[in-house]
Amino acid sequence: MPKKFSYQQLFSFSKNIFLKIGCSNRDAETAATSLLMADLRGVDSHGVARLSGYVRLWEVKRINAKPVIKIIHETPSTATIDGDAGLGLVVAPHAMKVAIKKAKQVGTGWVSVKNSNHFGIAGSHAMMALQDDMIGIAMTNASALVAPTFSVERMLGTNPIAVAIPAGNEPPFVADFATTTAANGKLEILQRKNAAMPVGWAQTKDGEPSTDPHALKDGGALLPLGGDREHGSHKGYALGAIVDIFSAVLSGANYGPWVPPFPAYVAIPENMPGEGIGHFFGAMSIDAFRPATEFKTHMDKWIERFRSAKTIKGEKRVYIPGDMEREWEEERMKEGIPLLQPVIDDLNSLALKFEVKPLYPM
């Protein structure tokens, strides 16, 4: 059984580390909030397990703990933001707030961001729009691990898209997914189990289909949603490409194979065409299309109808996007967040290094 830690403890721990690297109190809280959303919602690969990774990027001066985040271009419904190499965990909520503010003024707001870093889970930022009765959209590019259809080369990141849509009595619809068939985290689970990988998740370094979960580590590539041409991988490739272009070509960030990698020990690509990594955010006020109360009544009906669809044999439920993550969040907020021992050890090394209180299980 993995040990469990309270949300509040992990929040304070992360906040303290962000303070130690020089973040302002407000930024440290924003960053810890964004980071912990991943742990709460069951995306263990994107939460506190990455905290030491962010610190290492700060150590090699690829993350600026005191960024001056600036709007460098804007219109009534758009903005382009320079993240000043800040934590994506801070830059993204800042940009999302700009999108929401514009949506309040002219119906929708759209923000493209350059010169940023990894922003945690996309869903966390998209959900910020919900409290204002808005649809929230968040996406980001990432370093290249994915081969487009027919390509041997890695050209795109896992480039996730999140869309959060408010409802009335029902909880909101929250889709948040990588534009690949499977995330790298799923390959790692199979590696630990020494189990075969389904075809369609990754290819070898020569571009052959593979069932070896080490395929990616061995120089292969993840595959776009769809897996192969016959199963629509050109659609997953197009989606990942759209995320890359909206996030980076529109803002002036790096794109395609030039996106800088998350691990600080991996060299950054040569001749980079932009600055940092890129994100894209949107906020659409429901009232800009129809009265929010009317929309919510229909959204409830939509959700109820889909949730009550007849299931295939052996399955109990048809899920609404966001159902599983919300259930994780409720459970983990109450019963604590489980961490694997290597993650606990890693965090306690940080505690020692930065002289903050180490973790103790619940």
Member of 301, 331, 340, 362 binding a second copy (CB under 8 A): 301
Scan residues 76-135 and list those touching a second copy (CB under 8 A): 76-78, 80, 106-108, 110, 112, 135
Member of 97, 101, 152, 168 binding a second copy (CB under 8 A): 152
Scan residues 209-238 and list those touching a second copy (CB under 8 A): 225-227, 230-232, 234-238
30 or 233: CB nearest a second copy = 233
Scan residues 325-354 and list those touching a second copy (CB under 8 A): none
Strands 108-116 and 78-82: parallel
CA distance linking residue 106 with residue 210, whole number of Å = 49
The set of residues, in sequence order, having a beta carbon less than 8 Å from that of 258 and lying 6+ positions away, is 269, 271, 272, 273, 274
Member of 75, 131, 169, 293 binding a second copy (CB under 8 A): 75
| Shortest distance, position 59 Cβ to a second copy, whole Å | 31
CA distance linking residue 89 with residue 37, whole number of Å = 11
Q: Report the Cα 249 to chain-centroid distance in Å.
A: 19
Torsions phi, psi for 331 (to 5 deg): -65, -45
Determine contact, residues 170/304, Cβ cutoff 8 Å: yes
Taking CB under 8 A as the rule, does residue 269 contact a second copy? no
**CA distance readout (Å), 324 to 10, 36, 76, 319:** 22, 17, 37, 8
20 or 104: CB nearest a second copy = 104
**How deeply is 223 buried, as exposed, middle or buried, from its count of CB atoms within 10 A (0-12, 13-18, 19+)?**
buried
Member of 28, 129, 250, 356 binding a second copy (CB under 8 A): 250
Taking CB under 8 A as the rule, does residue 261 contact a second copy? no
Member of 208, 218, 330, 335 binding a second copy (CB under 8 A): 208
Which one of the spans 3-11, 48-56, 251-259, 335-343 is the region binding a second copy (CB under 8 A)? 251-259
226 or 276: CB nearest a second copy = 226
213 or 336: CB nearest a second copy = 213
Taking CB under 8 A as the rule, does residue 317 contact a second copy? yes
Taking CB under 8 A as the rule, does residue 305 contact a second copy? yes
| Shortest distance, position 192 Cβ to a second copy, whole Å | 18
| Shortest distance, position 301 Cβ to a second copy, whole Å | 6
Half-sphere exposure of 119 (CA within 13 A, CB side): 35
Taking CB under 8 A as the rule, does residue 158 contact a second copy? no
3-class DSSP state of 290: coil
Tokens of 350: 């940080």
| Shortest distance, position 27 Cβ to a second copy, whole Å | 25
Scan residues 10-69 and list those touching a second copy (CB under 8 A): none
Helix/strand/coil (H, E, C) string of 220-249? CEECECCCCHHHCHHHHHHHHHHHHHHHHH
CA distance linking residue 13 with residue 21, whole number of Å = 13
Half-sphere exposure of 318 (CA within 13 A, CB side): 11
290 or 357: CB nearest a second copy = 290
208 or 331: CB nearest a second copy = 208
Scan residues 163-182 and list those touching a second copy (CB under 8 A): 163, 165, 173, 175, 177-182
